[in-house]
A and B are shown apart, each in its own frame.
Chain A
Amino acid sequence: MTDPAWIAAAMTGARPQAVGALLRYFRDLETAEEAFQDACLRALNTWPKNGPPRDPAAWLIMVGRNAALDGVRKRARQTQLPDEAAISDLDDVEDRVVERIDGSDYRDDVLRLLFICCHPDLPAPQQIALALRIVSGLSVTQIARAFLVGEAAMEQRITRAKARIGAGDAAFETPGPVERAERLAAVAAMLYLVFNEGYSAGDNTDRAQLSGEAIRLTRLLLRLYQTEPEVMGLLALMLLQHARAPARHDADGRIVLLDDQDRGRWDRKLIAEGLALIDKALRHRRPGAYQVQAAIAALHARAATPGDTDWAQIERLYANLERLTPSPVVTLNRAVAVSKVAGPQAALEMIAPLAERLSGYFHFHGLTGGLNLELGRHEAARVAFDKAIALANTAAEAAHIRQHLDRLAADHATRSGSSGP
């Protein structure tokens, strides 16, 4: 007896390795995906009868490969295939395969599969959609629902993305160290995009699940590349941010800022794992952007109350991050830490030069408003919040700014009321 939930989980778990290996054999994404589908159909017939195989990925690769080769032969000869029962190698296939396929073969297969989704010609939303379809095996319906677009539109987006990457572009030779590092960096960036899709979704559950999927794939990547500090850093960053998810929104779906979150609702298991991973990564003394961001998230996770936060250390880490990956958004984040250490005026001075480049960025105006509010400059705060609300990406972000504006308006009314005749 093999329970259907176990079969589904085993297929999802084995998918990146299996499709990756089949892609190496056939050098064609469409064929690899079809072969995997075929193997899954046969597994649904065979596993409940014969019990689960010891290595589901190896089973699916061998059976998928045979099925696809049969298909090729069938098309070539136009002859009848033997029926299912006559295919004798389904049962005893496993032991032989297990000897031939071990962990080190999977490494580059999985990396290649993830990497073809990161084609530089593809805009980020297409990379994400493609990865969720090909690597995670989510249905077009599931992906469309997560992105709040129609199914037909998503189908078209994925088809177009697949056509664009073509099969010829992916390098099938075993990558050298430099190329492998480049692939890892591109894949890490793409996985973080998937994570952020879910993270920024708030309480939209279909999309919020993307964070969990990104964590699952990053864990797989780390298992394959155990000594890469940036992969440790990326997984730590995701886990530490994801740990705060239960406290990030109130019952009405409104954003709760870090300082106001109920820290008792943070997921301690995820925090423990994140802290352990960042500890491991830092031992390598090969700093990178994910490790630094994870170290910042770790300082928040370690603070029992907002008052315990080591803002001075966070400010130093953001200064590091600015050196590693200079960007106005990083400077903006550093300014938040500066406001805690040196006050709102110092932070405003730091972000003033960014005004032009970040004029279309929600968080720039939100922070400008917040800092002016702290300084008691209500008119400047109102102007900034007005700009922010027009640029809000989600209903929750808009509602958060609305609260500030309403409070400012009420405050203004009270004051003009008391000074009136």
Chain B
Amino acid sequence: MLYALLCYNDEDTVWAWDKTQDGEVMARLAQVRAPLEKAGKLGPSLRLLPTTAATTLRKSDPPLVIDGPYAETKEQLLGFYIVDVADLEEALGVARLLADANPGGAYEIRPLAVYNPGAPMAAGG
């Protein structure tokens, strides 16, 4: 069975860590990750940039681009995509294609700070 572990914390606090603090946390996490990855139990893990770097595509007709994170609470997080693109414009292009295929709700487009590909994993579901 595949699980996603979603990370929540106060971003003001986390992004105020100095280099040393940040390095210490990252080193501890790397120690947890290493054996899991070796055992083929850990896929991609990543760290998002702060919500101030986010842009949201509301899947209205026509779709609406809004600065900032997705702030509504009546919808739930149902999934996500990782895309490797040149810039925000291209990322929004992908989001628009997805929106055409699956209207309703929104996509929050949030750049990544760190990306670890992890071990290759069999498709599950």
Contact = CB atoms under 8 A, between A and B. Distances in A.
Interface of A: 6, 9, 13, 212, 216, 219-220, 222-223, 226-227, 232, 235, 246, 267, 269, 272-273, 275-277, 279-280, 283
B8 interface: no
B89 interface: yes
B51 A277 contact: no
Interface in B1-46: 10, 12-13, 15-16, 18-19
Contacts of B65: 283
B98 interface: no
11 contacts: A13-B16, A212-B16, A219-B50, A223-B52, A226-B67, A272-B112, A273-B53, A277-B52, A279-B88, A280-B67, A283-B89
A13 B9 CA distance: 14
B114 interface: yes
B52 A9 contact: no
B113 interface: yes
Contacts of A223: 51-52
A276 B68 contact: no
Classify chain B: how many residues form its interface, as a range. 20 to 34
A35 to B, nearest CB: 22
A338 to B, nearest CB: 28
Given A223-B52, A279-B88, A272 B16 contact: no
A6 B10 CA distance: 11
Given A280-B55, A280-B88, 14 more contacts: A9-B16, A13-B13, A216-B16, A220-B12, A222-B52, A226-B52, A267-B19, A273-B50, A273-B111, A275-B111, A276-B49, A279-B89, A280-B53, A283-B88
B29 to A, nearest CB: 15
A145 to B, nearest CB: 17
Interface in B47-94: 49-53, 55, 65-68, 87-89
A13 B12 contact: yes
A269 B113 contact: yes
A273 B113 contact: yes
B67 A219 contact: no
Nearest to A272: B113
Contacts, number: 58
Nearest to A227: B67
Interface in B95-119: 111-114
Contacts of B67: 226-227, 232, 280
A334 B88 CA distance: 28
A-B residue pairs, 4 tightest by C-beta = A226-B68, A276-B111, A279-B88, A276-B53
A272 B115 CA distance: 12
A227 B111 CA distance: 17
Please indicate which of the listed interface residues A227, A267, A269 has the most CB atoms of chain B within 10 Å of its own CB: A269
A227 B88 CA distance: 15
Contacts of B66: 227
A262 to B, nearest CB: 16
Contact of A269 (B12, B16, B87, B114): B114
Contacts of B49: 269, 272-273, 276
A222 B66 CA distance: 14
A219 B112 contact: no
B50 to A, nearest CB: 7
Contacts of A227: 66-68
B101 to A, nearest CB: 23
A9 B68 CA distance: 24
Contacts of A212: 16, 18
Nearest to B89: A283
A276 B10 CA distance: 21
B88 A276 contact: yes
B113 to A, nearest CB: 5
A223 B10 CA distance: 14
Nearest to A5: B13
B91 to A, nearest CB: 9
A183 B10 CA distance: 28
